[in-house]
Amino acid sequence: MRVAARALRTDAARGRTHAPVQRFTMQHSARRQFADATVPLAFVDSRDGQTIQVEAEVGKTVLEAALDHDVDIEAACGGELACSTCHVILEQALYDKLEPPDEEEEDMLDLAWGLEDTSRLCCQIKVSPELKGATFVIPEDPDI
Ligand code: FES
């Protein structure tokens, strides 16, 4: 105890005791601010023409945002990039703004119904501030 107290005093004299705590607090605060941010998104369901407006949490996927708000999207694999049932169609401007789909997503998209040039799997798109106001069209499945 005596040794520990001396070590603490020595560190305090060198100004070390508070620096790590302050750094942690700033990182935690910044992370919390980021996690609390939301952006408005819209999902248009081609099956019934209904538009659903949601506030999507930044950092989640667009699929998670849809499911959080009871948007009727199948997502058979739960976002594991093993199906194409989370297929959505983007507006051209938004599609161009995002990173292009990787090869694995392209392969899965080839299995999707109603494929368009701006199709994406929404489990592969992260919600970010640049998606503010974006609309995602859920295509109609001709087999249903
Ligand atoms: Fe299966 Fe997106 S939910 S690929």
For residue 72, give the DSSP letter. Answer: -
Taking a C-beta distance cutoff of 8 angstroms, is the pair 138, 73 a contact? Answer: yes
Pocket test for ligand 1, best of 64, 84, 104 (most atoms within 8 A of CB): 84
- What average pLDDT does the structure give for the chain? 83
Instruction: Tell me: pLDDT of 14 over 90.
Output: no
pLDDT at 140: 86
Cα 134 to averaged position of ligand 1 atoms, centre (Å): 20
Closest residue (by CA) to atom 4 of ligand 1? Answer: 81
Instruction: Choose among 133, 138, 68: nearest CA to 94.
Output: 133
**What residues does each domain of the chain span?**
37-138
Supply the pTM of this predicted model.
Answer: 0.75
Name the pairing type of β-strands 87-90 and 134-138: antiparallel
Instruction: Tell me: pLDDT of 23 over 50.
Output: no
Q: Could you tell me the CA-to-CA distances from 48 to 35, 93, 139 in Å, in that order?
A: 33, 25, 10
Give the atom of ligand 1 at the shortest distance from the alpha carbon of 121: 2
Give the atom of ligand 1 at the shortest distance from the alpha carbon of 78: 3
pLDDT at 53: 98
Residue 72: pLDDT band with limits 50, 70, 90: very high
pLDDT per residue as tens digits for the range 110-144: 999 899 999 999 999 999 999 999 999 999 875 54
Give the atom of ligand 1 at the shortest distance from the alpha carbon of 105: 4
The fold adopted by the segment(s) 37-138 is Ubiquitin-like (UB roll) (3.10.20)
Which tokens go with 79?
């976002």
